[in-house]
Structure 1
Amino acid sequence: MYTDGAVHVSPAGVGEGRGEIASFLGAFLTGFPDIHWTPWSRAVVCGNLVVTQWAVTCTHGGPFLMPNGEIIEATGRCVNVRGCSLRTMDGDRIAAHCVFYDQLELYAQLGAELVVQRP
């Protein structure tokens, strides 16, 4: 689905190239193996930019890496997250993929402790 030099950007981090993107998405699928993606709307802008509004529903069934490096083991909790993505296409492949979703919404549903660190 991705070009060789594709870039994937999300609240969880950046993946550059097909190998890093596959690793990143594989880690997410390990944490949420039954993920179901439901698109709500899609628009094509300027010919090669695709904007999609979506929701995902899944069960936290495996280890999930938090931004601070902590791993949350499977909780069995059902998770529902809304978001949107922007994909710049190169023919029929994705050259750039920017994903936006509310991390707090995800982490709260996992029961994660959210600690504010002050400088």
Structure 2
Amino acid sequence: MVDKWEVKRGLADALNDHDVNRMLELFTEDAVLVSPVGVAEGHEQIAWVYEQFFQGFPDLHLSVWFEATSTDRPMMVEWTGTGTHTGPFLLPDGRELEPTGRRITLRGTCASFVEDGKIVTHREYFDQLELYTQLGLHLSTDDPAGA
């Protein structure tokens, strides 16, 4: 029997190595990733989501600093992600943000459901506003009164 925490920690290791193939081996073929980016279903979509971050932040590194090891349904960890924006990064509106050279520090948590030694659902939670602010972006509002 595969240790569920071994799978969860293996995902963190593969993410830190930016090894998409090794990462995908830990997911079922029809796994679901839920994140602030959206919902990704299956290996192709899950790989695409992570590749966007690896492209924009080639030195992206997650440091897990808390594991809720008293439960495995779901398996919860808290992490801090750091990296430097040195590659193009896809924004929610479909534009690419050209490299800014800015460093980011992003706090987050994730929950994984592992069955038969594979991740079937993985949920990442982080504050997109925190990320975009560190990249130098700002909120704007439409002003219908000025139109």
Q: Does 1:77 align with 2:102?
A: yes
1:107 is aligned to 132
Determine if contact 1:39/1:54 at 8 Å carries over to the other structure. yes
Determine if contact 1:45/1:51 at 8 Å carries over to the other structure. no
Determine if contact 1:50/1:87 at 8 Å carries over to the other structure. yes
Residues 117, 5 of structure 1: alpha-carbon distance in 2 compared, 3 angstrom cutoff: farther
Determine if contact 1:48/1:90 at 8 Å carries over to the other structure. no
Cα offset for 1:44?
3.9
2:92 is aligned to 67
Count residues with an aligned counterpart: 119
Q: Does 1:96 align with 2:121?
A: yes
For residues 43 and 91 of structure 1, what CA distance do their matches in structure 2 show? Answer: 20
Q: Which has the higher strand share?
A: 1
Cα offset for 1:71?
1.3
SS of the residue aligned with 1:23?
A: helix
1:18 is aligned to 43
For residues 94 and 46 of structure 1, what CA distance do their matches in structure 2 show? Answer: 15
Q: Which has the higher helix share?
A: 2
Cα offset for 1:66?
1.0
For residues 118 and 89 of structure 1, what CA distance do their matches in structure 2 show? Answer: 47
Q: 5 Å matches for 1:36-75?
A: 36-44=61-69, 46-75=71-100
TM-score computed with the length of structure 1 as normaliser: 0.91
Cα offset for 1:91?
2.7
Sequence identity percentage:
41
| Root mean square deviation of aligned Cα | 1.7
Structure 2: which amino acid aligns with 1:111?
Answer: G
For residues 32 and 90 of structure 2, what CA distance do their matches in structure 1 show? Answer: 20
For residues 116 and 100 of structure 1, what CA distance do their matches in structure 2 show? Answer: 25
